[in-house]
Structure 1
Amino acid sequence: MQTAVHKAAQPSRAELMRTVTAIIIGNAFVAYDFTVYSFSAVIIGDLFFPSSNPASSLLLSLATFGAGFVMRPLGALMIGHIADSRGRKAGLAVSLALMTLGTWLIACLPGYASIGPAAPALMVLARLMQGLAAGGEIGPASASLMETVPYRNRCFMVSWRGASQGAAAFAAALVGASTTALLSPAAMHDWGWRIPFVLGGLIGPVGWYLRRRMQASAPQQRARLGPMRMFAAHPRAIVCGLLMMAAPSVGIYLTVFYMPAYLVRTLHRPAAISLLTACLSGLVILVVTPLVARAADRCASRKTLQYVALVASLAVAWPAFRALAHGAGDVAALVIITAYVALAVNNAGPSSVLVMEAFPAHRRAAGLGVIYSFGVVLFGGFSPLFVTWLISRTGDPMMPAWYLMAATLLTLAALRAFPEPEARGACVACASPPAV
C-alpha cells in the first residue's frame, strides 16, 4: 500500500485536453496497428511464410498474429511497472515507440523471396514488439485518464480508452476493405497490403509528439517488479478481475472480429455484409461506451450498470443468434448485431475503473494491464478458434451464443465477488493525485 498521498494541483483545462487527446489518439493507434494485421493475413502468409500448401502459409501467418497476444501480459507487466514507478508519461511513451517501430518494420519488410528466412523471423519480431506495446498500453492509458478527473467523472473519462478502440476497429475494417476494393488482386498482393500499415505508421509520430507534450508527473512509490508479488498483495482483485474479462473479451472478439467470417462461412451471407458489420460495430462501441460510462458515474456502485448490461446481454444472446441463423434478412442481421454489440460491449469505463480502484496508485497501471492482457489471451484471443472448432464438430450454428452466455455467467459471478469499497473515497485509489 502507499505510505503517503500527496495532493497535486489540478491540471488546467488546456493541459487536461492535451493529455486526454494524446492518450486517446495514441491508444487508438496502438489498437489499430495491432488488429489491422488480420486483414492482410492471407497475403502475409504467401509472402513471408511460403509453402506448397496455402493453408500452411495462412496458419503460420495467423500463428504470428497470435504471437502478439502471447506477449501482451509481459508488456503489461513491464510497461505497467515503468508507468507506476517512473510516471504514466514514461510508460505511454515506451508503448507508443514499440508499436511504431513494429508497424514500420512490417510496412517496409521485404518478403521471403528477397531476404530468405530473415523475412519470417523479422515479421515475428515485429509482431512481438506490437504485442508488448498493446499489452503495455492499456494500464498506463487507463490510469492516466482516471487520474486526471475527480471521482465522479472517472468512468466517463476512462471510457474513451474503450471508445477509441471501437474507432480503431472501424478504421481498420474500413482501410482494409477499401484497399481491397480499389486495387486489383495483383497490386494488392505486390504492395497494396502495406498501405494500412503505412497509414498506421504515419499516426505514430503524431501520437509521439502529443505525448511528449503531456505534463509529466512525479513517480509513484516504487514497487518491485514481479507478478507473484502483485498476486500476493491483491489475490482476490487479480483472480476476480481476470475472470471478469471473460464476457467483454469474448464479446468483442466474437461480435466484432469473428462475426464477418461467421456470417459468410457459417451462415452463407453475402461477403459485403462483413465490412458493414465490422464498421457498424466499431461505431457503436465508439458512441455507446461513453454514454454508459456517464450513467455509471451517477450510480452509487461501479457494479450497478455492469450487472444490468450483463444480465440483458445474457437474456438476448440466444434469441439474437437464433434469428441470425434462421432466416433474418441481411438488414435485420445488421440491426441485430449492432444492437447486441451496443448491449454487450459497453462496459470499458466502469469495469476498468472498478479494477483500478482496487489497487494503490503504485500498482494501478500494472494491475489493470496484467488483468486485461491475461484476460484477452485466455478468453478473447482464442475464442474465434474455439467457436469455429465447436461448429465444425457439432454442426450447430448457435455455438457462438452458447459460448457468449457461458462467458457472461462467469463474468457475473466474478463481478459479484470482486472487492469494492463500501463508499466513495474509501479506497486508496480515490485519494491518489493526478499522475500522467
Structure 2
Amino acid sequence: MNAARDAEPGLTLLVHRPGEEPTLLHTGLASLEHRLPIGPDTTFNLGSVAKQITAHLILLAAHDDLLRLDQKAADLLPRLKISDVTVADLVTHRSGIRDAESLLSLAGFRDLDHYTADDLRTLAYRQDQRAVPEGRFLYSNTNYLLLAEILETVHHTTLPDLARDRVFGPLGMHSTHFKSDPRQVIPGAASAYRATLHGWQHAETPVTLPGPGTLWATVGDLDRWLTYLHQHWHHPDQLPWQEAVAYEPSDHEPYLYGLGLYADPRPGRAAVFHYGHEQGFSASAHLEASGLQAVCLSNNGELSADRVTTALLRNLRTQPTPAIQEALAQATAIERTPVTAVQAQPTADDRSQHTELGTFTCDQAPGSLRLTRSVGALHLWRRGTREQLTPAGPGIYAGNGCTLTTASNTNHIDRFTLGLDRAPGLTYIRQ
C-alpha cells in the first residue's frame, strides 16, 4: 500500500462470497496520535447502518406480541401529536415527521454543542401534522429515535441492553455496541478525522443517538449480521422480511425502502444495503440475493465508504473472476473528496452592506432566524452565522440543502416557507 496513505486515517473493507472465507483489507490508522493501525478488531461508528438493527428489533417485538406494526405509534408514545402515524410508518420513513437534527440546526448549533436524544424527541413532539402527504417517503432520523423509545417502552429496558441480548449476543457480535453516552468507552474504537488546510482534525462531536445511529462494530461483526440476514432471505424474487413490511419507493430511484434497508429490486441485481455517515465516520453494508456480502468502514472524511463499496462491486461485476485482493485494492484507489477551505464568517464591514428584513420564528422549530438582503440575494442568519440564498425562481431562493419561498417582493417580508432536505414546509413569521 501507499506509505503516505498508511500514515493517514483509512478504512477496512470485507468481501464475503457464498461458500468462501471472507477476504479483508485494512489500510491507514485507527489513531493518528498513537499511530495505531486499523485491523480486524477496530470498531467504527456505523451511522445509519444501525437502522436495520433497530427495525429488526421492532419486528421481533411484533412477533412477541408486544406491539403491532399497523398500530398507531401514539398508543405507545402518548406525547406524539400526529395521531395517524403507525409503527410501520416510522420504520419505512412514511410518518412525515421532520428530522429533528435538521430542525435543531436552525438554532445555529455549533460542532461542539451537546444535545441529547431527549432534546430531539422534544422537537418531534412539537410537530402536529405531517410535513408531506400521507404515504410519501421522507427520510428522517427522528423516526428511528422514536422507534428506540417504543422498544424501551414495551421491553422496559434500554436499547443497548435489548440489542445485546436479542441480536449481538446470539449472533456472536461481541464487539458491537449501541453507544448511549458520549463518555462511554468502546473497546477498540477508531477515532474519526477530517482533512483541513492545516492538517488532520478530529471529527467526532459529543452526541449519541441510539436507534438511528451511534452503533459501533467491527467489519467481522457486520459480516455476521449480513450472514444472518441472508439466512432469512428465503427467495431471490422477494426481499428480506417483505411479508412483514412492504418495501416502497424511496428518495433514490429505483431503490425501495423497507425494514431499515434500501433495496434494489431489479431482476438479477436484487440487493439490500444501507450507508451511514456520522461524525467523520462512514459505513456501508451490502448484501445480494446470491449471498455476496460487502462491508466497508472508514474513519477518514476523505474516503467515503459508500463510494468505495460501489467501486468494489463494479470491479467484481466487470471482471469475471477477479482476485478479491486486487478488487479491494482498486476500490480504495478511487478519487478522494477534495479538501475545501471553510467559508469565512462575515465581518462588520460585510454586515454594513446588508438591509435588515426582520427576525422570524416557527412554532415547529427552535430559536429564531434573521433575514437580510444585499445585491439581489437573501441571507439567512442563525446564531451569528450566515448562509447566502440565491434566486432560483419567482419568490424562491436556494442555499446549501435548503429552499426559501416568499412573495416575489423581498423589500418587505412578513412570512416565508423554509424547506430543508429532511424537514420541509416550515412556516416562519415575522416577530
TM over 0.5: no
Q: Which protein has the bigger strand share?
A: 2
Larger Rg: 2
TM-score with structure 2 length normalisation? 0.29
TM-score with structure 1 length normalisation? 0.29
Q: Which protein has the bigger helix share?
A: 1
